[in-house]
Amino acid sequence: MSVASSLIRTEDVVRTVGPVLDPPILEMLRASDARTAVSGKPDPQALARLRASGLLATAVPEAYGGAGGDAAAVNRVVEQVATVNPSVAIILFQHFAVCARIDEWGTDEQKARYLPALASGEFLAASAWSETGAGAAKKRLASTAERLPAGRWLLSGAKAFTTGAGVADLYLVLVQTSAAQDDPHSSYGSAGQTFFLVRGDNPGLVPDLSLELVGMRGSATGFVQLGDCEVTDDDRLGPLGHATAIIAGVRESGATLGAVSIGIAQAVYDLAAGHRARLDEARAKTVRHQMVSLSTLLESARAFVVRAGHRSSDDPGRTTLQAKLHASAAAEQMCLEVSRMLGSAGYVVDHRLNRLIADARAVTLMGPTNDLCRELVAESWEN
């Protein structure tokens, strides 16, 4: 039996819909969201309960102790968590993404070493791709890996906006292993880039959580310094110098950050519904058409994300990008409309609506950013 069995009704549910989260877990995450919005730091207790919940097993194959969930299951779990805690939702999304990359590109030894630990919650994974000056498309990396004798590598540089920095046990790090070359077949990354799996206890990897974010304040998003960070060739994930092949396959998976936006949009809709319920009959009647518009926008965005997860379109990669674009735009639009609906009632610092507005904006800036998504979609029409 998998470690996620207590959260999943049947094996078919996790593959096609996603596990239904227990209410106590959701309430715990909701309370954590309020605390971290003030502290600006990750919540160790909430993350500890998350590790023990079985959720981290969602994207790990059953053969390695996971739930065997597909992209639709990943999107559903991420949406449910984002409804109460968007910061934890993006930590989960990154964890699931690394699990999938190891399953797709890892050696048998790497899968056996990491996937059971990632499923059980012993390990939490993070992606360290971005860095200052690299651009949204990650074509100008300054971080490097120098080949040493005896199959060793020395990683140097700094990564920025790494979600899960300091709380992850395993990082998927993107570095330059040879001179950068333009890859005419890729708009994301450059030839000469390689991925390495770096343990969080590597003394050469030093997290820095000095970033003070406006939104996603509990996501442990910060810098990762690579100084004398030594790894071996056994830690390399995928082909040397061809990380672009791995990157290109990410959007084909159907797992999309749009799921985070759907969770945020649902939370905003729930705030609007709660506000309407407190109005007298005459005033409630005046906003009913607005509620219909909000509900329609929410469901259209959710349908887009669901379609991406099922990979049922003629071009699943394009649909995954468009799902992120539409869902994130819908969440931002709903946030602003509900802000106007609530008026002065929502115009206080600690109102949850203001946290959700900042969180919704953050998703548009996460990789691939919405501007890069538009470019990738446009290019797909030209090919």
The per-residue pLDDT for range 133-151, each reduced to its tens digit, is: 766 667 779 999 999 999 9
User: Is residue 123 helix, strand or coil?
Assistant: coil
Report the distance separating Cα 368 and Cα 372, nearest Å.
Answer: 6
**Using 50, 70 and 90 to split pLDDT, how confident is the model at 381?**
confident
Q: What is the pTM of this model?
A: 0.92
β-pairing verdict for 222-232 and 205-208: antiparallel
**Using 50, 70 and 90 to split pLDDT, how confident is the model at 345?**
confident
**Using 50, 70 and 90 to split pLDDT, how confident is the model at 317?**
very high
Minimum mean pLDDT range among 62-66, 132-136, 262-266, 334-338: 132-136
| Residue from 49, 203, 200 nearest 114 by CA | 200
DSSP 287-308: THHHHHHHHHHHHHHHHHHHHH
Report the distance separating Cα 43 and Cα 88, nearest Å.
Answer: 9
**pLDDT at res. 4:** 43
The per-residue pLDDT for range 47-90, each reduced to its tens digit, is: 999 999 999 999 999 999 999 999 999 999 999 999 999 999 99
